[in-house]
Amino acid sequence: MNQTKKLLIIGFVWPEPNSSAAGGRMMQLISIFKQNGFDITFASPAMDSDFMVDLSEFGIEKKSIELNNASFDDFIVALNPDVVLFDRFMIEEQFGWRVAENCPKAIRLLDTEDLHCLRTARQKAFKENRTFEFIDLLSEEVAKREIASILRCDLSFIISEFEMKILKEVFKIDSDLLYYLPFLVYEMSELDLLKLPLFEERKNFVFIGNFLHEPNWNTVQYLKETIWPIIKKQFPEAVLEVYGAYPSLKVLQLHQIKNDFLIKGRATDANEVVKKARVVLAPIRFGAGLKGKLLEAMQCGTPSMTSTIGSEAMHADLPWNGFITDDVETFAKKAVDLYHDENLWKRSQKNGVAIVNECYQLSKYSTALIAKINLLLNDSESHRLQNFMGSLLQHHTLKSTKYMAKWIEAKNKN
């Protein structure tokens, strides 16, 4: 009889699927491992939040851990996991060396969420009013940390095919260390659309996104200052509802009733909000990864307007469930067209179903993922032998993060 495999997930934060796409992504991964018989422990150094999921409801043990503290060593030795999943490279930096030393046989996985160096470099280029180029990535300090983390792990989950291309072609990462894993959702049919609110039952434009994420804040500013005035000129009765977790005072100050630009704050149920809206607006100007809000729109049968970066790597060249443009006048005009033209709206809805089924089907990816992990569990030695750069980065002479952690730990004791 096969022994139950143990998975330790070390989270940057506790999962909040109703607050961010990252939280939803983590719950998707948990679900896949759970369905495949893994015994899961979720550990994090983060403070508890009012909006985190109750992990015990999913049969998952919750463990609070400390940064720069040898108590983690005792914890992981006692747990002795078969697989460890790091949630973002910053967590691998903090705990990866401890895992490698105390449980050397455990498979080390990294969920990158998105390429932080890509998001940072694009944001910098945007603020400097210049075009982003791949060479910008090579000078990013965060890129050195992020790529080192990918190399140290046995396998990294990459959410975007565009980012797979960057890692292979710009950073020359061996494809054996990378695993393409987009958002994963259940298959839809056009019959599912009939269960959703109809065109005439929906109203208003909507934007939704976690405000701790800089691209979301920038998008709302862009809507308020540039795009919304054009939409209002064409369609005076237009109303935009802006939802998002953790709105700051500067976000709340954009609320303007007389202009129908309404800051609503956190949505109790993001799905319900998007289902009731007629069109999602997401003119994203920088960022990385995949945009959970746009996939959610497709699942809710809500057409969307977005930018080139918003749609990047999201639709496999299938027709978008709305329109993609970086031109503000075109964006506004198409948004109004989409709002008023029922036939266009319904065609866009169906495009969304096709994208969901082609690009994000859970069954298509989950079985292959578990097969890949089982392969690593059965032959980690030869896999690691091929990853010389990874073993080099595990060498003591390059473990600055380890010795910094030990110095902080010693300092805290005094």
Domains of the chain in sequence order: 6-184+362-413 (3.40.50.2000), 190-359 (3.40.50.2000)
For the chain, which ranges sit under pLDDT 70?
A: 1-2, 396-399
C-alpha 332 chain-centroid distance: 27
d(Cα 171, Cα 155) in Å, to the nearest integer? 16
Instruction: Give the E-state strand segments of 363-410 in sequence order.
Output: none
d(Cα 110, Cα 246) in Å, to the nearest integer? 26
C-alpha 303 chain-centroid distance: 21
Angle (nearest 5°) at CA 64 between 58 and 70: 135
- Residue 184 CB partners (closer than 8 Å, separation 6+): 28, 32, 360, 361, 362, 365, 366
Q: What pLDDT is recorded for position 396?
A: 63
Spatial contact of 37 and 4, defined as CB atoms under 8 Å apart = yes
Q: What pLDDT is recorded for position 1?
A: 37
Alpha helices (H) in 114-235, listed in sequence order: 116-127, 135-138, 141-152, 161-169, 190-194, 214-222, 228-234
Quickly count: other Cβ atoms within 10 Å of residue 66's Cβ. 12
Q: Residue 269, exposed/middle/buried by CB under 10 A (0-12, 13-18, 19+)?
A: exposed
DSSP string, 287-314: --S--HHHHHHHHTT--EEE-HHHHTTS
For the packed helices 89-102 and 71-79, what is the interaxial angle rounded to 10 degrees? 70
d(Cα 209, Cα 375) in Å, to the nearest integer? 37
d(Cα 345, Cα 54) in Å, to the nearest integer? 38
Burial 218-248 (b: 16+ CB within 10 A, else e): bbbebbbeebbebbbeebeebebbbbbbbbe
Strand order of the sheet with strand 205-208? 261-265, 240-243, 205-208, 279-282, 304-306, 322-324
Spatial contact of 352 and 303, defined as CB atoms under 8 Å apart = yes
- Residue 345 CB partners (closer than 8 Å, separation 6+): 199, 278, 279, 303, 338, 339
- Residue 297 CB partners (closer than 8 Å, separation 6+): 274, 280, 303, 304, 321, 352
Phi, psi at residue 298, to the nearest 5°? -60, -45
DSSP string, 222-284: HIIIIIHHHHHHH-TT--EEEE-SS--HHHHTT-BGGGTEEEEES-S-HHHHHHH-SEEEE--
Q: What is the pTM of this model?
A: 0.93
SS3 state of residue 9: strand
